[in-house]
Homo-oligomer: A and B are copies of this chain.
């Protein structure tokens, strides 16, 4: 039969084939990352929305807390702002600002473009593993990583993207099935306007058959059954997101965690309303209200930039109806905060029983 000691355990120098997803925007605290890594999985800092200063500081804190390997996740797509339809979209957003009792104060916007600096900081600080979403690293970045024996994980949503990532030099593929919470990692929104949505059970073996590098399954995995099923599909491990959003060490807002604990498999939708990129999250008044306007969001990351004040005000008001509640489709068994190390331990213990 198949074993829990897969190739990625040797490659990443981890005990168990469990990768904590590098979710941007708050959930991946230093504590979460170190707890997962100390428990034998691969903790991952979701750095995409972090300032360079905050990222460097967090990496140093992780390194001072654990000797274990960890990852940093960044976006590998050029930042191309387009605010040409700003007035129209602001008008659509205005009822939400009214409900939250905030004013639209900015007249012009610019999205931060930190990904190159974030990558360089990872190199400078000796981060052992870098994972990417939305595309591949630039050739020069890949070369710099290889020279330092840094391992690169690329998240994909189709076989063609997996082949592209392998050709770019990635060491490991994360095959992101449609069940996954958060942003779809599809490389081209021209080709996949709503993100490619291939189910995990279907995507993983097709990617495994198409590339020669290890594949990690992502999307809908919350327990030992999902891990063992992923191994059966040919994956060498799993990436888990939503479970860790609800963990004790997660930095997610308590109302966000509670929304996950209250949700079921019918609760989520894929929406561009918050960021301009398709992402799976729990339906709420913001998503339903914005989509009802019929007004297209600005492209990513411009939409994300202009909705930031709304999400911040919702957090301040403890109001999940206007937060981005990214979550996957397997939330029924998530009902309360659990320590991250306990999540890793439980999955591994139960998987061992299943495989014995």
| Residue pair B199, A1 in contact (C-beta under 8 Å) | no
Shortest A200–chain B CB gap in Å is 4
Query: B200, B332, B356: which contacts A201 (Cβ < 8 A)?
Result: B200
Check A1–B354 contact: CB distance below 8 A.
yes
Decide if B356 touches A206 in the complex (CB within 8 Å).
no
Which residues in B have their C-beta under 8 angstroms from that of A226?
Answer: 201, 205, 233
Chain B: CB-nearest residue to A200: B201
Q: A205-B226, A333-B209 are in contact. Are A266 and B196 (CB under 8 A)?
A: yes
Establish whether residues B329 and A265, one from each chain, have CB atoms under 8 Å apart when the complex forms.
no
Of residues 209 to 233 in A, which have CB atoms within 8 Å of B's CB atoms?
209-210, 219-221, 223, 225-226, 228-230, 232-233
Q: Which of A2, A196, A206 has the most chain B CB atoms closer than 10 A to its own CB?
A: A206
Chain B residues with CB below 8 A from A320, complex form: none
Cα distance, A212 to B303, chains bound together (Å): 46
Whether A202 pairs with B328 at a CB distance below 8 angstroms is yes
How would you classify the secondary structure of chain A's contact residues: helix, strand, loop or mixed? loop
Q: How large is the interface on A (under 10, 10 to 19, 20 to 34, 35 or more residues)?
A: 35 or more
Provide the residues of chain B in CB contact with A330, threshold 8 Å: 201-202, 205-206
CB pair B354 A203 closer than 8 Å: no
Contact A199 B225 (CB under 8 A): no
The yes or no answer to A177 lying at the interface (CB within 8 A) is: yes
Are A225 and B220 within 8 A (Cβ)?
no
Q: A159-B264, A266-B158 are in contact. Are A199 and B230 (CB under 8 A)?
A: no
CA distance A266 to B161 in the complex (A): 11
Q: How far is the CA of A177 from the CA of B201 in the complex (A)?
A: 9
- Given known A225-B205, A266-B196, contact A1–B219 (CB-CB < 8 A): no
Residues of B within 8 A of A2 (CB): 354
A295 contacts the other chain (CB 8 A): no
Interface residues of A in 1-58 (CB under 8 A from B): 1-2
CB proximity of A349 to chain B, nearest CB, Å: 16
- Which residue in B179, B201, B209, B219 is a CB contact (below 8 Å) of A229? B201
Q: Does A198 contact B (CB under 8 A)?
A: yes
Nearest CB on B from A186, distance (A)? 10
Kindly provide the distance from the CB of A346 to the nearest chain B CB, expressed in whole angstroms: 15
User: Which residue, A201, A328, A330, has most C-beta atoms of chain B within 10 A?
Assistant: A201
Chain B min CB distance to A352 (Å): 11
Which residues of B sit under 8 angstroms from A158, Cβ to Cβ?
Answer: 265-266
Tell me if A178 counts as interface (CB < 8 A to partner B).
Answer: yes
Tell me if A234 is interfacial: C-beta within 8 Å of chain B: yes
In A146-201, which residues have CB < 8 Å from any B CB? 158-160, 177-179, 192, 196-201
A-B contact pairs, 5 of them (CB 8 A): A158-B266, A159-B265, A198-B265, A202-B219, A225-B233
A interface residues, Cβ below 8 angstroms from B: 1-2, 158-160, 177-179, 192, 196-203, 205-206, 209-210, 219-221, 223, 225-226, 228-230, 232-234, 264-266, 328-330, 332-333, 354-356
